[in-house]
Amino acid sequence: MIKAIAEYQFIQNAIIACILASVVCGIIGVIIIEKKLVMLSGGIAHTSYGGIGLGYLMGFEPIIGALLFSVSAALGIGYINQKGYSRSEVLIGLFWSVGMALGILFVALIPGYPPELSTYLFGNILSVTKTDIYFMAVLSFIVISTITILFNYWKVFLFDEEFAQILGLKTTLLQYLVLVLIALTVVVLIKAVGIVLVLALLTAPAASAGLITHNLAKRMVYSVILGCIFCISGLFISYYANIASGAAIVLIACACFLVLYLFNYGR
């Protein structure tokens, strides 16, 4: 594999993509779990499929469409949450379903079948291009910078939202911001594991880190490290076994969480 890394650009691209994906999913995953936003994140992720289908139909880059749909879904879901609708989980489920349905409809309107569509659904980190790397790097920079600059605010917001309001923090703005950051993270992860499996990579490393430590900063660091291990291990396995990289990454991540959970449960 070391020889392959030295010789092949696509392997180098895949490793860089693994690192970028691990950093953002490690950081945002901790916030998702702490704020109990797992299913909401799934709604944002699956809505992005509508943007991918629209990109293919209209002739622009599908990942741009995924970004537009994801951010729109994040803002829409944030609005629903802020209004406190009693059936908000139903509306979030509808975002999920409508996004997928629009994607299917748009793809059906295209003559033929897009050859790379399965990459967006199930991921193929070995197909990541330099352009994808640049795009992922920009989104990752936005996510990392936002979390780092506002880290002290996030700590208060995550652990006691009412206290954050008393302190004068704009919790509504933070709520919208975290949803937009989730949308950006989803787009970063799409090429790595695909829309179908993105939720697992968003939660498994962070959940595993939560079994190791309760300190917020350490959880984010451990989550990033575990994410790198899972992604790069999955990459190696998919390269040698000729299987889908997204599936390999997610299975390793979930297996590790299960081992850590059983170890903690047994103590």
Domains and their CATH numbers in the chain: 2-266 (1.10.3470.10)
- Backbone φ and ψ of 69, nearest 5°: -70, -40
Helix H or strand E segment including 181: helix 171-210
Measure the CA–CA gap between 89 and 27, rounded to whole angstroms: 25
Secondary structure of 209-228 in HEC code, one letter for each residue: HHCCCCCHHHHHHHHHHHHH
Rounded to the nearest 10°, the torsion over CA 47, 52, 53, 58 is 130
**Confidence band of 244 (pLDDT split at 50, 70, 90):** confident
Summarize pLDDT for 104-148 with one digit per residue, the tens.
899 888 887 777 777 888 877 878 888 888 988 999 999 999 998
Work out the pLDDT band at 6, boundaries 50, 70, 90: low
Per-residue pLDDT at 200? 86
Evaluate if residue 223 carries a pLDDT over 90.
yes
Neighbours of 59 (CB within 10 A): 7
What mean pLDDT is predicted for residues 202-229?
Answer: 91
What distance in Å separates the CA atoms of residue 37 and residue 113, rounded to the nearest whole number?
A: 34
Span 198-225, mean pLDDT? 90
What integer best gives the mean pLDDT of the chain? 85
Q: How far apart are the first and last CA of the chain?
A: 38
Task: List b or e across 223-250, with b for residues whose CB sees 16 or more CB atoms inside 10 angstroms.
Answer: bbebbbbbbbbbbbbbbeeeebbbbbbb
Residue 234 has pLDDT above 70, yes or no: yes
Reading the block at residue 189, the tokens are 């992860």
**12-21, 43-52, 153-162: range with lowest mean pLDDT:** 153-162
Supply the pTM of this predicted model. Answer: 0.87
